[in-house]
């Protein structure tokens, strides 16, 4: 087939041609790891750099969730089964943080401020945060609650 004929065929069979192209890309995406990574990186970069695109994608995904509630729940459940530890850790990290805030009466130890509170770790080996730790009395005692300003001042010294 000559190039001209090829173009004619494409025009006449546009739907078929597009489907063929889609299937080809889908197959390549599935089978070729390098291609997949390249596409994903391109997508990620665009998402991170282009705010308009980001808004568009967010709107799109929100709409998709609204229209596919059942499917979305199923996918979330599947993801939860697969990454149980991660999900539980996320839940318990927030839970622990709240517990620790309550333990310190939800106010800055230094000036008594009630907002912009941060957890200050008195010992170096728990600077990684309270993630993944069992919140024992001993561990609680190794922390203090400080407002952002006091926390900053403390670390300046």
Q: Which is nearer to Zn ion, 91 or 122 (CB)?
A: 122
Q: Which is nearer to Zn ion, 25 or 114 (CB)?
A: 114
Q: Which is nearer to Zn ion, 92 or 110 (CB)?
A: 110
Residues contributing to the site for Zn ion (CB under 5 A) = 108, 110-111, 113, 147, 150
Collapsing DSSP to helix, strand or coil, 103 comes out as helix
Query: Do 153 and 127 touch, CB atoms closer than 8 A?
Result: no
In angstroms, give the least distance from the CB of 131 to Zn ion.
24
Residues 6+ apart with CB under 8 A from 20: none
Q: Which is nearer to Zn ion, 108 or 130 (CB)?
A: 108
In angstroms, give the least distance from the CB of 121 to Zn ion.
16
Place of tokens 């709240």: 98
Environment class of residue 97 by beta-carbon count within 10 Å: exposed (0-12), middle (13-18) or buried (19+)? middle
CA 20 to chain CA centroid, nearest Å? 34
In angstroms, give the least distance from the CB of 108 to Zn ion.
3
Kindly state the tokens that stand for 96.
Answer: 């622990």
In angstroms, give the least distance from the CB of 147 to Zn ion.
3
In angstroms, give the least distance from the CB of 53 to Zn ion.
41
Q: Which is nearer to Zn ion, 65 or 100 (CB)?
A: 100
Beta strands in the chain (DSSP E): 117-121, 143-147
């Amino acid at each position: 087939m000559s190039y001209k004929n090829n173009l004619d065929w494409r025009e006449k069979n546009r739907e078929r041609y597009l489907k063929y192209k889609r299937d080809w890309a889908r197959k390549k995406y599935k089978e070729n790891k390098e291609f997949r990574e390249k596409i994903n990186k391109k997508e990620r970069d665009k998402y991170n750099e282009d705010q308009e695109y980001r808004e568009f994608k967010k709107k799109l995904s929100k709409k998709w969730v609204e229209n596919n509630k059942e499917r979305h729940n199923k996918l979330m459940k599947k993801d939860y089964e697969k990454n149980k530890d991660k999900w539980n850790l996320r839940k318990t990290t927030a839970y622990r943080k709240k517990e620790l805030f309550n333990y310190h009466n939800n106010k800055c130890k230094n000036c008594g401020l009630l907002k912009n509170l941060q957890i200050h770790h008195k010992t170096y080996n728990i600077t990684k945060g309270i993630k993944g730790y069992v919140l024992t009395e001993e561990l609680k005692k190794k922390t203090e609650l400080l407002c952002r300003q006091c926390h900053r001042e403390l670390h300046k010294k």
